[in-house]
Amino acid sequence: MGQAPRPARAVQARAGHPDGRLRRAGGGVKSTVRRRWELAAGGSSDLFDLVDAGSADLVAAALTGLPEQRRRAVGGELTEWFKTRRSTFWGSGRGTALAVAVVGCLPTAAQAAAILTRRTVTVDGDRAARLVRVVAAERGIDWLPELARRLADKLARDAWIGHWRFVAALLPADAAPPTGERFVELWVQSLASPDRRRGAPVPLLDRLRNDPLLAALLPRLFEIDGIGAPMMFDEVHTDWESRHRHVLPTALARLAADGVVDRAALLDGAVGRLLRGDRPAALRAFTVLLHELAPSAQEVAARATGYLRLLADAPAPVAVMAQKALRALPDPEPEAVLAASREVLLRPDKALVRGQLAWLDRLARRHPDRVAQIAEVIAVAAGHPAVDVRDRAAALTARHGPAPAVAGPVPAGGDTAPAVAVARGDDLPHPGPPAPAPAPITDLDELTEEVAALVGTEHRGEPFDRILDGLVRLAPTDGPRLRAALDPVLARRHWAWAAEHQWDPCCLCGLVSDLLETAGEPRPAVPQRGRWAALLAAVRRTGPQGPPRELVVTDPRVPAPHALLRARLAEVGHHLGEPGHAGLLAAPTSANGALDPLALLERLTALGERQPWRWDLTQALLRLPPGVDDTLAGKAEALRTPAGDRLAAWLRAGGLPDPVARVVPLARRPRKVGYDWQHDQLPPRRIAVELRPPAGYPDPYGLLTVDPPPMETDHATWARMWPSVLPHHLGVVAAYVLPQVTAAADLDRRDGALVLPLLAECGGAGGPAVDVALAYGLGARHGADRVAALDALLGLAATGRLDAAGVGARLGDLVAGNLVKLTRAVEPLRDAAGAGAPLSVWRLTAAALPPLLAAATPPRGLPDLLTLAAETATATGARVEVPGLAEVAGRGGTSRVVTEARRLHRALTAG
């Protein structure tokens, strides 16, 4: 007999069903008619298969015509089914199907929101809203607006823009939209990221004219802290070449000119936002908005009180904007200007202070009756830290009034005399030995707290040796209680630790999560040959080429120290729960990761005849201080165990030797075919460091063989774990973290240089990798990274291990080659001199100046560096001539470069 026809496909084809071409969902897609019958009859597993497959259209079709009572029953099963999949990430496809099923089955908006507000659920914006509205209309429910408001109130910081579009599309057109911070922030993000799937995007100006949310959300732009930074997006056209800068403030100014929005409200809102303050990057949008609005003299005069407050208190770019607006007024109030000037002239921003001095000079000529009062205010700048500002203030004071008295030490005779700088060197306290490591974890409650701190935040850069040691100690003896204590902690972990991030070759999140999820479970009699064994086997197999390696790095993007971390995690996971191991051999005894050799010998003695774990012992040996120790080697050999013999051989060989370092240039990769956005963001060249083992050393772990990775390599926060792997090899660790530090300067990445203070805690020789890392760190884009470079510089100087001339030479070459901005580096160097390292700063600046003085075009910041060099040379009594300085000082003219070069030249040749 012939097989019966299948009407479902014909029905789908006739209906033009968008998923008619789909043939598989889970175990196979059945016809819509059959699924409706099974749902009505009590079966719901096929519906869940459709949800799991992301077939949102088929879910909507399967629910069509289902009785309300049956829908509620399916809704209860759906809720229980979702609870079993809490760790699942619901991408836009599956999340959309889940949203359709939730709205089509659950009875209330609160129950629907309980699922759709989960951070693991994302939906496909407008498409999800369209399907949900169809299901709601067919079902006859009216709580979609309530659902939208509940979702808007629960928008997470990492919510996807598609999720916001879903919420916004569910809002009624005649109702007031939510105005919560996250809803407004995602509205701004939606303006910056139009949906390109529907053809060429509409220009922002036209979208704003027709945006129903504009009137309600526009005032919130001036109230939410930090929102100014995402407001500074560009609009890129379809050809990817034409780009409109800061298009949102420009569009708002156009709308104000057209009468769509209130111009006065924009002016008041921008000035008020600037008065309340924020991060400088977040305030720039409002200074741009004021620039685009171009307020008239009348509008500025009406807000003069606010502008004067900005002049005195706001960040430098905002204060400069206020200064320009106020100076354009035809007749400002002199008393108010003088009152604000007393505060402005004490600010460290030289451009702002010079502009204020010029304004006061003009004010004195316009108001001769107030010249004495104005001269008194100008004299406030006589104590400014910038030498050129002090000179200008002195000249103006002499022009408009008597010179101010200079405070100084009074000799015994009673006559005043200028203070004389006393030659000195660095005055930094020695940091002393590294702090001892915290005591091992032997209490279950303490281990639970440490695990909660580890997985409860996004930060993933701290060593977790103490947690691993605690797991090894407690898992064999207290497994059930350990499992019961960790389960609720892992259920609340941050999404960043939820699973392995496939785009990050260094990601350890999956390994750590698996390790914590299996800790305390009953251990089988024969170790399972699962993921842990496979990872260990991959690490130990012979490399395809080159010298034999005991540690094989399968991914060239993963540095050898990180591969060792991965091998140790796999080893702990493979052996976790084995009795007889009282903690890890490699657990450090110092806070910087170092291990006392006597402590390791005691641990091996306590281990007895039991074999230590391979990579645990390897890491322990790498944490020992370098150098030959025959006495301790003899004691280790007396143990008569393979581990004791291995320790003895390590101690007699002196540990890991120092590598051979070579500075190499690194060029940007070739452009790919078509538009290559990533290529355009890369610097044209970079300075890198290559390491090779010394002659005759086989380098079994590959730790001394470092090739510079491509420029786009990003090790994120994992690099902060590497100093604890090699705590006595400063130069080696510096070569590994150098790409991350470099990117903080030439790619403007955030937090790339935060590893530098950890480098300063490492022992051993530095070398060119440390010099290059500090030079790039001083020129980092973000202030926190420059502060980290400053801390590292002071830490190395305090221990006498800073090669100031080497760092300065690298900095000079980088600035002369347009690879680092000198204006960023001057501030931390000035802070270093003020913190007690004037001699180190002088040596650094003296080494950096020759290539900068020889440059065809003086780089920005060179006058400030010359001023700093003159101050530190005077303070330290330096009398060493800087190559090229005399030629620049002998030029004619009064440019700042020539003026400051003369000042430094006089300081070096005085006496």
- Would you call 692 helix, strand, or coil by DSSP? strand
User: What is the H or E stretch that residue 818 is in?
Assistant: none
Stretch (H or E) spanning 691: strand 685-692
pLDDT digits (tens, 9 = 90+) for 327-385: 999 888 889 999 999 999 999 888 899 999 999 999 999 888 889 999 999 999 988 87
Q: What is the mean pLDDT of the chain?
A: 86
CA separation for the pair 587, 568 (Å, rounded): 12
Question: Mean per-residue pLDDT for 137-163?
Answer: 87
Tally of CA atoms within 13 A in the half-sphere of 867 that contains its CB: 20
Q: Could you report the per-residue pLDDT of 686-711, keeping only the tens digit for each?
A: 999 999 999 999 999 999 999 998 88
Question: Could you tell me if 723 and 764 are in contact, meaning their C-beta atoms sit under 8 angstroms apart?
Answer: no
**β-sheet bridge partners, residue 244:** 235
Q: How many residues does the chain have?
A: 911
Specify the DSSP class assigned to residue 459: -
- Residue 196 in contact with residue 235, Cβ under 8 Å? no
Q: Where are the domains of the chain?
A: 1-175, 444-653, 684-909
Question: Which three-class secondary structure state does DSSP give residue 762?
Answer: coil
CA-wise closest residue to 513 among 120, 87, 157: 87
CB 110 within 8 A of CB 180: no
What is the model's pLDDT at position 29? 43
pLDDT-based confidence at residue 405 (cuts at 50, 70, 90): very low
Dump pLDDT digits (tens) for 475-493.
998 889 999 999 898 887 7
The amino acid occupying position 870 is: A
pLDDT value at residue 779: 96
Distance CA 25, CA 14 (A): 21
Q: Number of C-alpha atoms within 13 angstroms, CB side, residue 387?
A: 18
- Return the minimum-mean-pLDDT range out of 235-239, 529-533, 596-600, 620-624: 235-239
Residue 478: count of CB within 10 angstroms of its CB: 14
- Name the pairing type of β-strands 660-667 and 243-244: unpaired
Residue 176: φ, ψ to 5°:
-70, 130
CA–CA separation, 732 and 707 (whole Å): 12
**158-192 tens-digit pLDDT:** 777 888 889 998 988 788 898 999 999 999 999 98
Q: What is the distance between the alpha carbons of residues 627 and 630, in angstroms, rounded to a whole number?
A: 10
User: Which pTM was predicted?
Assistant: 0.71
Burial classification of residue 157, based on how many CB atoms lie within 10 Å of its CB (0-12 exposed, 13-18 middle, 19 or more buried): exposed
Would you say residue 61 has pLDDT above 80?
A: yes
Asked if 795 and 754 count as a contact pair (C-beta separation under 8 A), the reply is no
CATH class of 684-909: mainly alpha
Crossing angle of helices 768-778 and 783-798, rounded to 10°: 140
DSSP-derived pairing of the beta strands 243-244 and 235-236 = antiparallel
Distance of CA 430 to the CA centre of its chain: 31
- For 190-224, give the DSSP string: HHHS--GGGSSPPPHHHHHHT-TTHHHHGGGGGTS
Are 593 and 620 in contact, with CB atoms under 8 Å apart? no
Tell me how far apart the alpha carbons of residues 773 and 793 are, in angstroms, rounded to a whole number: 10
Q: Burial letters for 104-113: b for 16+ Cβ neighbours within 10 Å, e otherwise?
A: bbbeebebbb
Q: Which of 90, 92, 175 is nearest to 128 (CA)?
A: 92
Separation between Cα atoms, residue 136 and residue 848, nearest integer Å: 70
